[in-house]
Amino acid sequence: MPQLTTANARVIDPILSEVARGYQNPDFVGGKLFPRVPVTARGGRIITFGKEAFLQYANMERAPGQNTRRIQFGYAGAPYALRDYSLEGVVPTEIDQEAQAVPGIDLASRTVSGVQDIVALRLEIAQAALATTAANYAGSNKVTLAGAAQWSDFSGTSDPVSDVEAAKEAIRANTGKRPDKMIIGAAVFAKLKQHPKIVDRIKYTQREIATPELLAMLFGLKEVAVGDAVKASDDGTFSDVWGKFAVLAYTPTANLAAAGIPSYGYTYQLEGYPFTEEAYLDRNPKSWIYPVNDSVAPVIAGAESGYLISAAVA
């Protein structure tokens, strides 16, 4: 089989870009709170949600010939700025030669997917940090559990269902919409599955253990997703990306033009990104290089559409 050349590297570049765009790690859930919205500029204004839909306007009634009262939904809020990220995957020519002798191995695609996984983890960490920062929420839309109120306390005092209902009502009171999804950390999910009040509620469903789908049904949500992603510090210490938090939000699948919808957040991403540059041969280490680029920024568009439960478990 012939070796990868500069000429055919240019041919596969669009294909590798599609690999980068289409790759999704199933452990990543940040996009459920911050769905991707393609934008054509690296900077702009966040389309935020106003209160226009709930106001009762005077003079809606009109006489013949009178002007009609006009309103506008949504407005341009705080500025956003995309940040550029680049990372290169390396395939030594010796390994490339050995791989081409084995049918079914595509080192180019595997390398791009591996790089994109790292780039996507960075975005997942950024989305989780944004969603779990208490300062991003008003006092009515957050709570910190402690002691017997934490869902890891099985003594009978803690009540996850009641806490979730309170969060749902807080969002509804501020937006007129009930949250449609909840993201929980892996440690939170581990305790919810064992919580006596959850176990008691599912005993009539003929299910032995609570699944995310079953929790969604119990909580009256469209989706409960578990953040299983982990990150490592420079010294190799691993920790959960979503920690011990639970985040509820109303984030409908809508495009940027849907002004007036009180969506919780977006991930603004430059149109056409991520993309893979033309692969090139670095002669000194005798390796093929696959650069992957992204330009992206998650933003909270309407904090009143979200609710943060901190320290959900001990």
pLDDT digits (tens, 9 = 90+) for 245-302: 999 999 986 555 455 567 899 999 999 888 888 888 899 999 989 888 999 999 998 8
Q: Please, which pLDDT band fits residue 5 given cuts at 50, 70 and 90?
A: very low
Residue 165 lies in a domain: yes
Residue 175 lies in a domain: yes
- Judge whether residue 19 has pLDDT over 70: no
Are the beta carbons of 196 and 154 closer than 8 angstroms? yes
- Spatial CB neighbours of 208, under 8 Å, sequence gap ≥ 6: none
Q: How many CB atoms lie within 10 A of CB 280?
A: 14
Are the beta carbons of 70 and 37 closer than 8 angstroms? no
Q: Which residue spans within 106-201 are E strands per DSSP?
A: 142-144, 181-185
pTM of the model: 0.82
**DSSP SS3 for 185:** strand
The residues with which 20 forms a beta bridge, in sequence order, are none
Are the beta carbons of 287 and 70 closer than 8 angstroms? no
The candidate with the shortest Cα–Cα distance to 243, out of 190, 296, 306, 180, is: 190
Q: Please, which pLDDT band fits residue 9 given cuts at 50, 70 and 90?
A: very low
Q: Please, which pLDDT band fits residue 307 given cuts at 50, 70 and 90?
A: very high
With the C-alpha atoms ordered 199, 203, 209, 213, is the resulting torsion angle positive or negative? negative
Q: How many CB atoms lie within 10 A of CB 262?
A: 22
Q: In the structure encoding, which two tokens stand for residue 278, read together?
A: 């033309």
| Per-residue DSSP letter, 141 | G
Residue 228 lies in a domain: yes
Number of domains in the chain: 1
> How would you classify the pairing of strands 306-310 and 142-144?
parallel
Residue 24 lies in a domain: yes
pLDDT of residue 195: 96
Between CA 180 and CA 178 the distance in angstroms is 6
Are the beta carbons of 263 and 49 closer than 8 angstroms? yes
Residue 59 lies in a domain: no
Residue 134 lies in a domain: yes
- Judge whether residue 244 has pLDDT over 80: yes
Residue 73 lies in a domain: no
- Residues 116-147 as b/e (b if ≥16 CB within 10 A, e otherwise) read beebbbebbbbbbebbbeeebbeeebbbebee
- Judge whether residue 138 has pLDDT over 90: yes
Torsion from C-alpha of 208, 211, 213, 215, nearest 10 degrees: 90
CATH assignment of the domain containing 204: 3.90.1690.10
**Alpha carbon distances (Å) from 271 to 36, 64, 268, 294, 296:** 10, 48, 9, 10, 10
Q: Domain residues for 296?
A: 6-51+78-310
pLDDT of residue 202: 87
Residue 21 lies in a domain: yes
**Encoded amino acid at 287, one letter:** S
The distance of Cα 204 from the centroid of its chain, to the nearest Å, equals 33
- Residues 174-198 as b/e (b if ≥16 CB within 10 A, e otherwise) read bbebebbbbbbbbbbbebbbebebb
